[in-house]
Amino acid sequence: MKHKVTIVDDHPIVRQGLAQLINQDNELGVCGEASDIPSALQSVKECLPDIAVVDISLGQSSGLSLIEELSRQYPDLTILALSMHDEALYAERCLRAGAKGYIMKKEPPEEVIKAIKDVLNGEIYVSDNLGSRLLHKLVANKSGALSSDLDVLSNRELEVFRLIGQGVKTGKIAEQLNLSIKTIETYIDHIKKKMHFKDSRDLFLHAVQWRINESDPAGPLK
């Protein structure tokens, strides 16, 4: 009997590609698709999948919020987070929200299938690089100060922080997140207060430095 899979992604072409890939496997079959949180909750309710593959960016909605809600409503449901975003920034947060794995969209098709099967078999799926980082943190029983500070940010504030670290201007951030510039400025104010930055320049420098540190596999483990 095939394992039932629900796909949640706000891009139809991505859902179609994933569905074709999954349905080609003898052990897996797609039972539902969704593009946002309401349709995802309805799909899971109707087809009761064994696993939900969830994109963490769902337009104006947050896939992280969906992962938390699915974990609360369906504690036996296996969840795999799928994203185009850097795992250094989001993977650990997805795992804490209830996902059993995190895979980047850039991975080859066979790796996506492997990730799905691994988490269905009760394993935690992350990249080798991230696994090493998490193991290092566990053994050291500590993490970098900035990594700990990031935990105080909401999911949306974290997105804004990531984009600032990439050098994206406020107006462009608003466009990418489909929010007003005023709303983004409010998030920036919240980030500065929560992380005790002196001003916007201080925030920018820390965000850029964090991105450099986390994207350098040869750099210090956080």
Domains, the chain, in order of start with CATH, read 3-132 (3.40.50.2300), 145-215 (1.10.10.10)
Residue found by looking up tokens 């296996």 in the block:
78
Provide the pLDDT for residue 145: 45
Closest C-alpha among 105, 96, 84 to residue 134:
96
pLDDT at 159: 86
Kindly report whether the global pTM for this prediction surpasses the value 0.75: no
What per-residue confidence (pLDDT) applies to 168? 86
Determine the pLDDT at residue 51. Answer: 98
- Whole-angstrom distance, CA of residue 31 vs CA of residue 75: 19
* Residue 96 vs residues 100, 155, 196: alpha-carbon distances, Å: 9, 12, 24
Ranges in the chain, pLDDT < 70: 60, 132-149, 212-222
Q: What are the CA-CA distances from residue 31 to residues 36, 51, 188 (Å)?
A: 16, 10, 40
Closest C-alpha to 112, from 122, 123, 125? 125
In this predicted structure, what is the pLDDT of residue 153? 87
pLDDT, tens only, 178-187: 889 999 999 9
Pairwise CA distance, residues 177 & 61, whole Å: 9
Helices (H), 99-199: 109-120, 128-140, 145-150, 155-165, 170-177, 181-195
